[in-house]
Structure formats: structure tokens, C-alpha cells
Structure 1
């Protein structure tokens, strides 16, 4: 079957199914809004639970019966983005407050609650050490300044009570965050990886269709621009996958249900990152070749037709990453089977092209470096897809 026939058939199919992407986008938007609303409800419930428990524990012994510091600390910990972050933030928060209170106690004893004491606190906090972040230094300084008056009038009580309140608030906040619907970000990871797969697969299809339609000169730079813009999607997907991985650490949902292992699409992202690098290399080589003034460097039509077909098959294989795991096509084939079939067809075309180049059928003397670059990138792209399927 000729590449042009395949292209016309696919274009007709795309026109018939044009409303589908819009409907899919609308469903994704609705799901996103629903997820945000549900997330706000969960945060509100956790915030209320953490505040009430902390107030009940600390109100009896806190100064004046108002444990505001304990409640404030609990709210921060209960609303941390992950259980792991709630623990690490608690350690930093408690450490910063203790350091600030000790600094306030020391300066109050030496200088009293004066402007000189405030100056010393600010200078020491700024010079607290190169490893401390700006937020840590500001927390130490603000805690010390606020506690300066309390430590001056009651040094021991002014130091012990805030520390105990911070510890209680941190403990309650961590417990609430870990036990009351601890946050998971698996859907966000899933969505980001699927969007990346759609973008990469679509670009491969567009390059394949463009080469088959002899539109290399007209569209090569647009392909390169699209390939370069994949970097933003890669960064977004990487952040979402890392967040999902972190949300699994110490998460009680995983302990009680045992269903969180290997579901963050980390391996799929790694594959797509490698594929994206190869796609960018292919787009760059095609753009350079499209405007090369040396006629003997131009690629032959026979090579471009075969290469176009391979890119389209690779695009189909990449887009399988964007398909839901339970989705089956009209033939009943599962995504894994479709991926295997697309890779095998692409590898067949690759072997054919390699053989033709080896026999000298497709070569021009000055275009060897272009053929080599395109074939190397395609070889690596297919190897990444094949590795992903094997695992």
C-alpha cells in the first residue's frame, strides 16, 4: 500500500472523528474541576479536625488558655501537599521556632527587650549559616522578635510553652494528614504523562504525513518549533510524576490497601522523555535539510516515503501511552497488544530502509550524514519504545 493512500485514509478518519478530541477535552476539564472541588472539601475537613483536636489538647496548659501557636502549626502540617512533606516541614518548623526562641531568650538576658536586642536578632538570623534557606532565617528572626517580650518577663515559661505548642501542633497535623484521606497525586501524574504522549505521538504523525505529502520545505520549521515546545510538557510531567512518587511515601492508603506500587507512570515518563529527545533530533535534522543549499544533500523521495511511514507507525506506538489502560479498540486488542503491533511494523520498515541504504539504493553521495542522523534517532526511538513494552 502506498504512503499517499495511507495518508488519505488517515486524514479521512481524522475528519470523521474531529469532535472526539473536543469532547475528550471537555470531559477532562469537567473532571479537573470536580477534582479541585473535592480537594477543597477534603482540605476543609482536615483543617477543622486538626484545629479542634489541637485546641482540645493544648488549651488546658497553654498561656491564657489560647493555644494559637499550636493550632497554626497543626493547620500547616495537616494541609501539606504530601504526608512526607508534612513530616519534613514539621522538623523544619520546630527547629526554626526552637532556634528563634533560644535566640530571644539569650538576647533578652544580655540586652533586655530593647532595640539593640532586635538588631542582634536580625543580624544573627541573617548570618545563621549558608545552608539555611531564606524562609528558615526569616522564621528564626520573626519567632525571636515575637518571643522577645515573653522571654524577658518569664524566661523559662516564655521558652517552654511555645516549644510544646509547636510540638503538639506538628504532631496533630501530621497525624491528621496521614490518617484522614492522605493526599495522593496519581491522577495528576497519569494525566500529565498521557498529555505528553499525545503531544509526542501527534507530532510524529504530523511529520510523517508532511513527508508523505512532500511538504518538508513548508512545514519543517513548524515541526522543529513543536518539538522544542515539548520541553514545557516534559517539565510539567516530570513535576507531576515526582509529586505522585512523593505522595506514596508513608501514605496510609498504600499500607491499608496495598495498591499503590508502580502506578505513578515513572517508567512511562522516562520512555517518553527519551522519545522526545529523539523526536527533537529528527525535527532538527529535517529542518536543516529542508533549507540546505547543497542539492546533493537533499533526501530522496523514496527514502522520505518510507521514513514517513515509519514515523507514523512510531506515532501510533507512542500514542498508546495516552490510551486508558482498560481501553480496547474495535478489534478487542488491548493497548499493550496494539503497542507491540505498531512497534513490530515500525521495526520492519526500519530494517527495510537500513537494507536499502546498505545496498546503495537510496543514497546520494553528499547526504550520508543526513541519512545517518535520521536513522540513528529513529533507531533509538524504536529501542526506547521496545524497552518500554518489554517492561
Structure 2
């Protein structure tokens, strides 16, 4: 019998292997995030190899490691971030070499220079101007003092190698298939619409059972939280999209044509509102399901009609998702059917108004939220 820790390790290795296999198949099948990562990794390796060749083979420089190292880490997800981090890293390397050299000159020995320079440089690494490249100041000082190259000539040489690596890394990233992240926005927007439709279908199915309770409401709440996480992912993808278009206009757009136009930012705001309306809708239903609260859920026939209304709006969400992905297999619902259901529920609301105030409150709130969803998802 295998030990428990070995079983856990085996399970983790098996899961990771399957994940790698799925990523490899996705990269092979066509454009997507996996292929972008594959291309970016090869570009970083090519930049490091090119920097090593230029520095070591052509210039016969014994410190080619510095140029190759800087070129490798500067092939970033966007051209703008590569250029920004190039400036930050070269500045950090300059600071590290200069402070290390000054400490070596003041103390006259390696241990004293390390004790004097590294604490200062680690504090300097937190300076916001350095971004996440500040730690290179301290590592450069360690490397400089460990190799005994703290003389003025070696310092200038090291900075020159860092600048050479930065130029090669940024050039490779900008000129060889420059990264333009427009696909992620479309995919996340389509996923948000699809998941919103899935959640509305789930709520509609639960309402038809007429047995929904606090546990059902908790499941809706969890699905809403997942929907909001998808919205945050969409916002992050939009930010990457905007950044990837910086410094890639003109000739660089000719080098790599973007993968189709990005959906307008107004779509992000619209689906953000849809997410908010779904959150309020599920919260209202959760309150009505709580036996300790005064609101009372509508009767069975009303719930069935409301569930049908949610199903139609969910179909509209799915149609929008498929339109964004270019498939378009789902037909958007007919607005006439939505209006008929809405009119029927309004009639029931008027019937309740005179003698069931709590049911009227809940049904009115639900109708308001479904009208908001309707206006945002169903084409006029």
C-alpha cells in the first residue's frame, strides 16, 4: 500500500501532466492564450541567444552573461511593458554597480562592501520608480562584488552590457510578432455573457421546483461571485489590450495584423450592469427564501412565468456570447414573447397589490430587475 503523501504527489503530477497536455493541444489547434505563451517563450529564448551571440561571439566579451540575462527577462507581454521595464532594469543595474563599487572603495574588502551596500539597495528596491525591477539593484551588487569587478572600467562595461541586452530584448519583442492582446477581451466578454445565461437558466430551473431554500440561495450566491470574478478578469484583459496597443501603431501593425477588432468598452460596462442586476435579483430571491424574514415569495404560477422570462433572457445572453465568438448558433429570443410574459406578471402584481403586500413587494422587485436585464441583453 502506497503512503498517503506518495498518492498525493502522484495525483498532483498526473493533474499537472494532463494540464500541460491540454495546453499543448490548444496551442497546436489554433490561436489562443496557449499559443501566445508558446510564442512569447520562444521569443525570450531567441532574444537571450541573440544577445549572447552579439556579445560573446561578435564582440568577444567575457561578460556576455549580463546582456543575455537582461534580454531574456525583457521579452514581456507587451511592447510597452518591455520598454518600461528596460528603463527600470537598466537604472537598477546602474544603481547596483555604482553603490557596490563605492562600497568596495570605502571598505576595501568584499564583506564590508556587502554589509554596506546590500541593505541600502534592498531599501532602494522598494522605490516605486523601479517597479518590480528594483531587486536587480541588490543582485547586481552581489554579482559585482562576488566576481571582483568593482573597478570603474568593469562598472561601465557591465552597464553597457545591460543596455545592449535591453535593446535586443525590446527589439525582438517589438519586431518579431509583437504581442497584441485583443483576443482575451473578446473571449472573456463572451464567457461573461455565457456564464450569465447559465446562471439565469439555473435560477429559472430552481424556481420551477417551488422548493428552493437557503441552500439553493447559497448556490446562487456562489455562482454570482464566480460571475463577478469573470468580470474582474474581463477588466484586466481590457487593460492588457489597451497596453498592448501602445507603441505598436504604424509599421508594427504591418508586422503583425491584430486578430480582429476588439469589442467596444461600452460592452464591458453593459455586462457589468447585467452582473449587478443578476446579483440584486438573486439577493431578493434569497431574502424571500429566508423563513425568518418578512418578504414572501410569489405563488407557483407566478414563479413559473418568471422562470420562463428568465429563460428567454438567458437565451439572449447565450446568443450574445456566440455572436462574440463568431458562431451564432443560438437565435435571440423574440421580444414579443418577453412582452407577453411581462404583461401577465404585471397583471398578477396588480392582483396582489390590494391584499398581499409582502408578495407584492417581492414580485415588484423581481419584475424591476428582470426589466433591467431585458433592456441590457435583448436587442430592441
* Residue 300 of structure 1: aligned partner: 299
Query: What is the distance in 1 between the residues matched to 2:56 and 2:334?
Result: 66
CA contact (8 A) 1:113 1:148 kept: no
CA contact (8 A) 1:194 1:321 kept: yes
1:94 to 68, 90, 93: 90
* Residue 243 of structure 2: aligned partner: 246
Give the alignment of 1:1-391 within 5 angstroms.
30-31=25-26, 34=29, 38-39=35-36, 42-43=39-40, 45-59=42-56, 64-78=61-75, 80-128=76-124, 131-132=127-128, 135-148=132-145, 154-155=151-152, 157-217=153-213, 219-251=216-248, 255-256=253-254, 262-263=261-262, 266-293=265-292, 297-325=296-324, 326-329=326-329, 338-339=331-332, 341-342=333-334, 345-346=337-338, 349-350=341-342, 353-354=345-346, 356-358=348-350, 360=352, 364-385=356-377
Worse overlay, 157-166 or 301-310 = 301-310
> What CA deviation, in whole Å up to 9, does each residue of 1:76-99 have, x standing for no partner?
223x12222211221211111111
Structure-2 change in CA distance of 1:47 and 1:247 (3 Å)? same
CA contact (8 A) 1:298 1:367 kept: yes
Structure-2 change in CA distance of 1:204 and 1:56 (3 Å)? same
CA shift, 1:263, in A, is: 1.1
* Residue 12 of structure 2: aligned partner: none
Cα RMSD (Å) of the superposition? 3.6
User: Runs of 5+ in structure 2 lacking a partner?
Assistant: 1-21
Provide the secondary structure at the position in 1 that maps to 2:358.
Answer: helix
Query: What is the distance in 2 between the residues matched to 1:49 and 1:187?
Result: 25
Aligned residue pairs total 353
Provide the secondary structure at the position in 1 that maps to 2:97.
Answer: helix
Structure-2 change in CA distance of 1:211 and 1:135 (3 Å)? closer
